[in-house]
Structure 1
Amino acid sequence: MADQTNQNAEQQELSDILRIRREKLKALQDAGKDPFEQTFFDWNATSGKIRENFDAMEGQEVRVAGRLMSKRGMGKVSFCDLQDRDGRIQLYARKDEMDEEQYNEFKKYDIGDIVGVTGEVFRTQRGEMSVRIRDVILLSKSLRPLPEKFHGLQDQELRYRQRYVDLIVNPESRKNFEFRSRFVSLIRRYMDNLGYLEVETPVLNTISGGANARPFITHHNTLDMDMYLRIATELPLKRLIVGGMDRVYEIGRIFRNEGMDPKHNPEFTTIELYQAYADFHTMMDIAEGIITSGARELRGTYQVKWRGHDVDLTPGWPRLTMADAVKQHTGIDFMAISDDAEAVAAAEKIGVELDDAAERTWGNALYACFDQRVEDELIQPTFITMYPVEVSPLTKRSPKDKRLTERFELFICGAELANAFSELNDPIDQKWRFQKQVEQRERGDEEASMMDEDYINALEYGLPPTGGMGMGVDRMVMLLTGTDTIRDVILFPTMKPLADGKGAKAEEEK
């Protein structure tokens, strides 16, 4: 009962604040001072610039702009904190140093209002770097209070639904996204320095392929045909290798109609890259290079903490075959087993379950053991290599063992961060494997690939030996920022609509 009473009191207080702020706006508009008519403010300094260059800027006049985040005093002397893209700077206002009418208006400004300030850089008696206001203008009126008073930052759903509010009140959140932007720039520099060409490929496709994943389906009205949002950029990029563009990469959104959890969002960002006359060993070097460069250049250390573990990213990561990893963790030596039935029996003996849609083969048993007994145990950076053919439909077979392929995945803290192959360039073998995927789809596996006749046609013109890789940008940012959920590194993660359909307003007032 007490909780309900407190909630009702909060709702009433919020309603009063909304009413008062609109009344203030109306008064300004009636006085011909509508803040929403302001179109430009010629600022020349930021809080960061002032802090970093204070000795040189002390005594100079500057123009700063940003959001009011706190107010103190409000008698003859007033203090406020102004927040801009670099952080916060204190504003100092004295009634006898400003136009009296303007000072009185300034006192009525609300936390959250956006202002432009002209004033002098100085240090207060307490040593606080500040701007002494000479002139101030209201550039935008905030009609809603910032959320700390009512919700704080405890409501994670509110943070993700209203990222704009999260970015205002949570500096750590903003830092994560600034880091992400710098990291994507680093990836581009890294790839460009290796002689790669950045390209763009279609988001809408007539066939879903390039990965095992359930696609989103849409409809093209003019052509009257279903189309698929891409689940990978692999097949278009390899067509470019056929065409003679020997090193290509794409950073872009991928869409998979799958569940959501701390590691998965239906739309996410990857970098996929392909290099002619290279193999999966080349891709391992690049994967390690991208992540270690990010740690060294953007964090200044190879030591990170992620998902509750201390992770050492120092270059020289171990490379372990899947069969060896399974042997280490389960004791089953799949390389000593040649019979499908024996392999399946060995897996089931330790409680491993095989996918109902998958054939009961040696390769599927090996992969199921790895997936269910090993993957979560890989904490330090580890390349797992030599995947079974059954789960690698686009990968070149190993010349040493035709049951295996030249493929690796990179695991850190049980999460996959990269997937790479020596690309299959035999069109006959590729068509056979596509057919196997089609058969799996017919058995009910909605994630299996479709037949792509045009890609087979491209291979028949000749794909040179090629190494290719996909890396999850979101997960790499999670690793390097130490965040545990993908929603903290995607600005606008996918969210289930609110039940009443009233969106953000309902969320705030609930």
Structure 2
Amino acid sequence: MKQSPPLPASPWWTPQIHADRRPILLARNRIEAAVRLYLADADFLLVDPPGLQRSPGNETHLHAFGTSMIGNDGVGQAMYLHTSPEFTMKKLLAAGETRIASFGHVWRNRERSALHHPEFTLLEWYRVGDSYDAVIADCVALLQLAAATSGVTALIYRDRQCDPFAAPERLSVVEAFMRHAGIDLFASMDADGVTDGRALAQQMAALGMVVPDDTSWSYLFSLILTDKVEPNLGVGRVTVLDRYPAAEAALARRAGDDRRVSERFELYACGVELANGFGELTDADEQRRRFVAEMAEKERIYGERYPLDEDFLAALSLMPAASGVALGFDRLVMLATAAPRIEAVLWAPVAQ
């Protein structure tokens, strides 16, 4: 399949431009219908979390849109558009639901690029009692479903292709960093997963990489992942990037065999991250400690922090063991239609 041309500069709502965009938008609708049927056949209950929340999420590099909810007394309360329906969905698991999915819009600030849009569609689902291998299998099935619905045998993004029907590659983050960047991540962690940014910076310097002024471990990890590792993932076949360092998995439980890593994975095709999933953490005290640390780091870097969702932390004590994952639906449509930018698969992009 040939790549679609870049989006023109003219407004998307002019009849001629809409006519050019319409085939991809109709493909989007067909893929959405197929995904909804898959969820129904797998006995997922579709839920509808509200977008307006007291806390938008508590991860360092996730940025929210804030607003004020004004009551009948005229007094305003700070609120946020959620960056994910995760907190609400886990409350529903605590309430007794066992297999749920959400198909809806989320909002993330400071994000706009060929692969990022400030408002986008997130498909998120949870399985109580299942390991995260089960949601990995769901992800692979949905990639295959999107390709089959579009009538293609390969997912495409720019000059990269991926066969979604081939057996996926499963690679730990530590293995991926060694293979694609020559970096030994374990050499910059202690036995409990506590990280050392200076040790990671020294490895980078020894390999001739540019070391930035900010040598916090998390920042260096993200740089190496983005520059050296991600472009090599999901090329030819799907990559499941597994067992993230515990320091980079704020909502995941630690692996039973190694405290340095957690039950977190990301799914890649054509060098594009499509999904992010966990074996879910249900220890409220540990979750609180992680959120407090994440917000302290957010304030250090960005000068702001978000409140904790106390209802969510209270609900964790009732939440059963579960696995869950969030998949960027717009990106999936992009790859199934060879679209070059995320705006090409949105019925109505947010104005720039």
Cα deviation, residue 269, structure 1: 0.4
**Identity within the alignment, %:** 28
How far the C-alpha of 1:337 sits from its partner, in A, is 5.0
State which of 292, 305, 308 in structure 1 corresponds to 2:156.
305
Alignment match, 1:332:
183
Offset of residue 355 of structure 1: 8.3
The answer to whether the 8 Å contact 1:271/1:473 transfers is yes
Equivalent position to 1:235, from 84, 87, 98: 87
Query: For residues 425 and 155 of structure 1, what CA distance do their matches in structure 2 show?
Result: 44
Among residues 433, 458, 468, which one is paired with 2:290 in the alignment? Answer: 433
With over 3 angstroms needed to count, the CA separation of the structure-2 counterparts of 1:463 and 1:282, relative to structure 1, is same
CA contact (8 A) 1:279 1:468 kept: no
User: 1:415 maps to what in 2?
Assistant: 272
Residue of structure 1 in register with 2:64 after alignment: 215
From 151, 162, 167, the counterpart of 2:18 = 167
Q: 1:353 and 1:430 mapped to 2: Cα distance?
A: 31
Residues 375-396 of structure 1: CA deviation (Å, up to 9, x unaligned): 1222232110111222221111
* RMSD, matched Cα: 2.3
The equivalences for 1:469-480 within 5 A come to: 469-480=325-336
* Letter of the 2:346 counterpart: I
Q: What corresponds to 1:490 in structure 2?
A: 346
Q: Does the aligned pair in 1 maintain the 2:101–2:123 contact within 8 Å?
A: yes
Q: Judge conservation of contact 1:210–1:235 (CA < 8 Å) in 2.
A: no
Q: Distance in 1 between matches of 2:303 and 2:125?
A: 26
The 3-state SS of whatever aligns with 1:463 is coil
Secondary structure of 1:320's aligned partner: strand
Q: Distance in 2 between matches of 1:158 and 1:452?
A: 42
Kindly state the Cα deviation for residue 310 of structure 1 after the two structures are TM-superposed: 3.0
Residue 393, structure 1, aligned to residue 250, structure 2: yes
Q: Which amino acid is the alignment partner of residue 443 of structure 1?
A: R
Question: Looking at both structures, which has the greater relative contact order when contacts are Cα pairs under 8 Å and sequence separation is at least 6?
Answer: 2
Structure 1, unpaired ranges of 5+: 1-152, 497-510
Aligned positions of 1:14-53 closer than 5 A: none
Q: How many residues align?
A: 335
* Structure 2 equivalent of residue 263 of structure 1: 115
Separation in 2 of the partners of 1:354 and 1:242?
43
Instruction: Compute the displacement of 1:372 (Å).
Output: 2.7
Deviations 1:51-86 (A, max 9, x none): xxxxxxxxxxxxxxxxxxxxxxxxxxxxxxxxxxxx
| Offset of residue 314 of structure 1 | 1.3
Superposition deviation, residue 411 in structure 1: 1.4
How far apart are 1:336 and its partner, in Å? 4.9
Q: How much does 1:445 deviate?
A: 3.6
Give the residue type in structure 1 aligned to 2:228. R
Q: Give 1:22's aligned residue.
A: none
* Alpha-carbon offset, residue 453 of structure 1: 1.7
What do residues 82-141 of structure 1 show as CA deviations (whole Å, max 9, x unaligned)?
Answer: xxxxxxxxxxxxxxxxxxxxxxxxxxxxxxxxxxxxxxxxxxxxxxxxxxxxxxxxxxxx
Deviation per residue, 1:410-466 (Å, 9 max, x gap): 112221100000011111211110111121122134687642222111112x22111
Alpha-carbon distance in structure 1 between the residues aligned to 2:7 and 2:153? 33
Secondary structure at the counterpart of residue 282 of structure 1: helix
AA partner of residue 411 (structure 1): Y
Query: Relative to structure 1, is the Cα distance of residues 353 and 401 closer, same or farther in structure 2, using a 3 angstrom cutoff?
Result: farther
Distance in 1 (CA, whole Å) between partners of 2:220 and 2:112 is 27
Contact 1:210 1:231 in 2 (8 A): no
Question: Which residue identity lines up with residue 468 of structure 1 in the other structure?
Answer: G
How far off its partner does 1:369 sit?
2.5
Specify the code of the residue in structure 2 equivalent to 1:463: M
**Aligned position for 1:134:** none
Residue 226 (structure 2) pairs with residue 371 (structure 1): yes
Supply the AA of the counterpart residue of 2:127.
Q
Matches of 2:172 and 2:338, distance apart in 1: 28
Alignment match of 1:187 (pick from 35, 47, 52): 35
Structure 1 residues 254, 179: CA separation in 2 closer, same or farther (over 3 Å shift)? same
Q: Which letter maps to 1:403?
A: R
Indicate if the aligned counterparts of 1:408 and 1:420 stay in contact, CA closer than 8 A: yes
Q: How far apart in 2 are the matches of 1:407 and 1:295?
A: 25
The Cα shift of 1:301 comes to: 3.8
Q: CA 1:446–1:185 in structure 2 vs 1: closer, same or farther (change >3 Å)?
A: farther
Conserved? CA contact 2:54–2:309, under 8 Å: no
Which TM-score applies when normalising by structure 1? 0.62
Contact 2:58/2:308 (<8 A) preserved: no
Distance 2:41 2:58 in 1: 27
Q: Measure how far apart 1:165 and its partner are.
A: 4.0
Tell whether 2:232 aligns with 1:384: no
Counterpart check, 1:293 vs 2:158: no
Match of 2:314 among 436, 445, 457: 457
Q: Which runs of 5+ in 2 are unaligned?
A: 191-195
Shift of 1:367: 4.7
- Structure whose CA Rg is larger: 1
d(CA) in 1 for partners of 2:14, 2:213 = 39
1:317 equivalent among 168, 172, 182: 168
- Output the amino acid matched with 2:240: F
The residue type paired with residue 244 of structure 2 is: Y
